[in-house]
A and B are shown apart, each in its own frame.
Chain A
Amino acid sequence: MDYHFYLARKSQALRVRARLTQSLRAYFISHDFLEVETPLRIPSPAPEEHIEAFPADGWFLQTSPELCMKRLLAAGYQRLFQICKCFRKAERGRLHLPEFTMLEWYVAGFDYQKLMDQCEDLIRFAAQALGLQNLKTSGRDIALAPGWQRMTVAEAFAKYAPVSVEEALAQNRFDELLVGYVEPRLGVEKPTFLHDYPASLAALARIKDGDPSVCERFELYIGGLEIVNGFSELTDAAEQRNRFGEALKKRAGKRWASYDMPEKFLQSLDALAPCAGAALGVDRLAMLCVSADKIDDVVAFTPEDL
């Protein structure tokens, strides 16, 4: 392959990507957020059933900066953001790179509803800075004008999937039906927040007040692409420890790497006041800015190019 030609052809996408990152950063700076850098190599990632970390000399490369950032919040920092690399083993596809760029931010005193409002504000700001009124994918325009759609997971399954969300979970087909039937229909005309995930998929999210069957978690979809995951943060150390324990058991069943319980993080949770946080896939948002159909088009190098 002629790499000089191939890399030169990416120049437009790389320019847009650079401006996108700059405008995301500008948004947070102008809203009084502190930019932080936390270590990429950590002793114990958050145990999650379906996310595997790369080992790195006895420790691991982070799969997300969540634990360190929440320890800062627990220490009293109010508004934090970070743009960093995250690493996830065996994730490679049209929308996946094993090393990708994450924008992660936290706001003390927010819940997931307020965070959804902020997501809308952030993405519209960043797009406008690039002179974009719409985002594009598969030749389709997605209008960013206010009034983004919000839909619960139960509503979305009732509308688009062949079975209800309860049945999907009972049959262990939630992810398969989400990917096959629901995701492609989300955020097609305007961006869509899918929210109130089943409690069993809460990860580090708080269970919803008044409805223990769901958690205060959302995902933002634009043009069928999952762009942001956010939640009202769980601040109950005992419950978080239980969930991590369950995830560790499931991981052991798959013979995935065993992590130590992230004790320092769990200790800090007792001091964590109500807050909300979100993670945005910068590469995927860049794809929508240049109407790329694969993530390879918005990074200078994929693993295969090295």
Chain B
Amino acid sequence: MYTASDLRKGLRLKIDNEPYVIIEFNFVKPGKGQALYRTKLKNMVTGAQFERTFRSVDTFEPADLREKKMQYLYKEEDKYCFMDNETYEQVYLTEDQVGDAKNFMTDNIEVEILLFEDKPIGLSLPNFVELVVTEAEPWAKGDTVSGTTKPVKVETGYTIQVPTFITEGEKIRIDTRTGEYLTRVKG
């Protein structure tokens, strides 16, 4: 159980049986008046945000959240299937729950599945992934005038800006937090 003085940015709470994360937090108090805790909360399942002010007498349930390493198996219609390599249990996430992560997920990649009361609600990727370039305009040798980057498509179908020397079939490293190109992977 949390009390109001435990509230801070990043804390995860259970409100009306749903998990929320505090994305903004401010303590306010008239000198002789009561302490008020103004928060902006984000629903970790739906992404919906709202503002709410709490008082020092309010108490909160922590959200029962944990992460578990699982392997991405395949996509079936609008569902993504993952498998726990220890128990061989399979879980599914929706398109919305996977979000932008789909741009960086190749078959069999290991991800952290976020579980709320043992139900999967989202995932987090490794910070860096290596993907093969599947479509790229050929590099015209000596072409240094037409800009320093060009768009290429990688094996997940994601389009990314890379330096002009990158060619089809090469592997590149991408930062999944920013979605940006980092470096060419040799070999």
Contacts and interface: CB of A to CB of B under 8 A. Distances in A.
A229 B32 contact: yes
B27 A175 contact: no
Contacts of A14: none
A178 B33 contact: yes
Interface string B1-20: 00001000000000000000
Nearest to A178: B30
Contacts of A201: 32-33
B28 A50 contact: no
A175 B56 contact: no
Interface stretch (A85-93, A114-122, A157-165, A285-293): A85-93
Interface residues of A, number: 24
Interface in B142-166: none
Interface residues of B, number: 15
B187 interface: no
- Chain B interface, DSSP helix/strand/loop, else mixed: loop
A4 interface: no
Nearest to B4: A90
Interface of A: 48-51, 90-96, 174-176, 178-180, 183, 201, 203, 219, 226, 229, 254
15 contacts: A49-B34, A90-B5, A91-B29, A92-B27, A93-B27, A93-B29, A94-B26, A174-B33, A175-B29, A178-B33, A179-B36, A183-B30, A201-B32, A219-B30, A229-B31
Given A50-B33, A90-B5, A219-B30, 15 more contacts: A48-B32, A50-B29, A50-B35, A93-B28, A94-B26, A96-B29, A175-B36, A178-B33, A179-B29, A179-B33, A179-B36, A183-B30, A229-B31, A254-B56, A254-B57
